[in-house]
Amino acid sequence: MVEKFVTSTSGLAAFAAYFGAAVVLLVLFTKIYEKVTPYKEFDLIAGGNTAAACSFCGALLGFAIPLASVIAHSAGLIDMVIWGVIALAVQVLTFFVVRLIFPRIVADIPAGRTAQGIFLGALSLLVGILNAACMVD
């Protein structure tokens, strides 16, 4: 029984390292994303702004999906962190591209225009899915 427990938990250290690194990257992404957007997502969401919630959740998922793919396919922890930073950069770049194409989106989301928030969130998710698929050996 003890041997089975030891065998079953032998990967616990690797799990903790990857999970910890992923949480750090997620916090870093959140801080950077909130700095590059001209509005404060958390304040808007706390105020009930659905557009901000949709766009921010899409960005978070658009980052988390390639990060999960990298965790599953990386050659090691450093490899995972490097590709996680690349996923972060792609997701931030997505916001800037959308802002160039739709400059009013930075006013529309704080104004609570849900369609624009859903659009930005969906586009962020779409880019994240493609990003994850491209991160292969």
Is 8 part of any domain? no
57 pLDDT higher than 90: yes
| Structural domain containing residue 73 | 17-134
pLDDT tens digits, residue range 71-116?
999 989 999 999 999 999 999 999 999 999 999 999 999 999 999 9
Return the percentage of the chain with pLDDT > 70, whole number. 96
pLDDT for 3 equals 75
Is 59 part of any domain? yes
Is 116 part of any domain? yes
| Distance between CA atoms of residues 89 and 25, nearest Å | 11
125 pLDDT higher than 90: yes
Is 7 part of any domain? no
Is 6 part of any domain? no
Is 98 part of any domain? yes
| Distance between CA atoms of residues 97 and 104, nearest Å | 13
Please state, as a whole number, how many other Cβ atoms lie within 10 Å of the Cβ of residue 84.
24
17 pLDDT higher than 70: yes
Is 9 part of any domain? no
Is 39 part of any domain? yes
Average pLDDT of the chain, as a whole number:
94
pLDDT for 51 equals 98
Structural domain tally of the chain? 1
Q: What is the mean pLDDT of residues 107-129?
A: 97
